[in-house]
Amino acid sequence: MSGIQDFVVLTLVKAAPLIYAALAGVVCERAGILNIALEGQLTIGAFTAVAVSFATGNPVIGLLAGVVAGALVGLLLGVAATRFGVDQIVAGTGINLLALGGAAFGLTVVFGQPGASAEVSALGVPGERGLIVGAFVAALLLHLALYRTPWGLRTRASGENPRAVRSAGIDPRNVRLIATMLGGALAGLGGVYLSLGELDLYSDGMTAGRGFIALAAVIFGRWTPFGATGAALGFGALAALQFVLQRSGVPSELMQALPYLAALAALTGIAGRARAPQADGVPYTE
């Protein structure tokens, strides 16, 4: 097998969950909700999919359950942020901890063992490939939805100037709520990709920080679906390169840190101008 082909495939495999999570970050932040709970949404999506596939024997139902569970976690963040005015960073951090603890607890309830689940019926190679293609389709759809529909206009306006949205007779808090649910569903799908697409099990900590790398991809991709997808692909390529070239002189720790350095570069303007949505992370109160 050719090395180039391996590298391309590995890049796509590594990038797919990052794309889903990064798109989730984009839709939330464009609506004005800073979603640092991506890691938790990946976790809950991954776990729920495996648990439901185990219970029903049907991985497709597992996939749907993972998406719904992700959306519910998104809703939790949305409600905390828009209805109760909780600081979004605090809420997101709480949800990440809750998700990790909840999945660990769920493992003992559903599988009767801590740490890792049993192997369940999964989506297999066609499912994995389908989900990789799906990530790009999702990016395209989100782009069209954000820039070509009234919903997209309202969503972007809620992230830039929620008062203007209010004066048009729409409650920006509801717009944000819908965005967090959609984001949660996307991140949940990213989790499903990991647990039922690539693998056939859930294991504690298996998301391994992908939610945070996706956050970096959102910034580096300048809060646009295509930008974030490109950044996620770039980070995927870095990870793939690191795997193939390991121990050829470049310290692997440095390669692993590159996504964060890239995000930092984007934020500090080294890699061009990056501006977050004006009302990103700012609670809307009347």
Residues that bind another protein (CB under 8 A): 1, 6, 10, 13-14, 17, 80, 83-87, 90-91, 94, 97-102, 104-105, 107, 113-116, 119, 194, 198-201, 203-206, 208, 239, 243-244, 246-247, 252-253, 256, 285
Question: Of 90, 85, 81, 86, which Cα lies nearest the Cα of 177?
Answer: 81
Question: Of 266, 7, 37, 15, which Cα lies nearest the Cα of 139?
Answer: 15
Minimum distance of another protein from residue 121's CB (angstroms): 14
- Which strand (E) or helix (H) includes residue 9? helix 3-31
Closest CB to another protein among residues 104, 271: 104
d(CA 85, CA 69): 23
Residue 195 structure tokens: 């647990």
Radius of gyration of the chain (CA): 18
Minimum distance of another protein from residue 208's CB (angstroms): 4
Closest CB to another protein among residues 108, 149: 108
d(CA 128, CA 29): 28
Closest CB to another protein among residues 142, 206: 206
Closest CB to another protein among residues 94, 130: 94
CB 265 within 8 A of CB 219: no
Q: How far is CA 222 from CA 33, 206, 273, in A?
A: 15, 27, 9
Closest CB to another protein among residues 1, 150: 1
Minimum distance of another protein from residue 82's CB (angstroms): 10
State which amino acid sits at residue 163: R
Minimum distance of another protein from residue 27's CB (angstroms): 23
Closest CB to another protein among residues 164, 245: 245
Minimum distance of another protein from residue 87's CB (angstroms): 8
Q: In sequence order, what DSSP letters do the residues of 102-135 get, joined into one string? A: HHHHHHHHHTS-SSBPPP----HHHHHHHHHHHH
Minimum distance of another protein from residue 45's CB (angstroms): 14
Q: In sequence order, what DSSP letters do the residues of 161-178 get, joined into one string? A: -HHHHHHTT--HHHHHHH
Minimum distance of another protein from residue 268's CB (angstroms): 26
Closest CB to another protein among residues 209, 269: 209
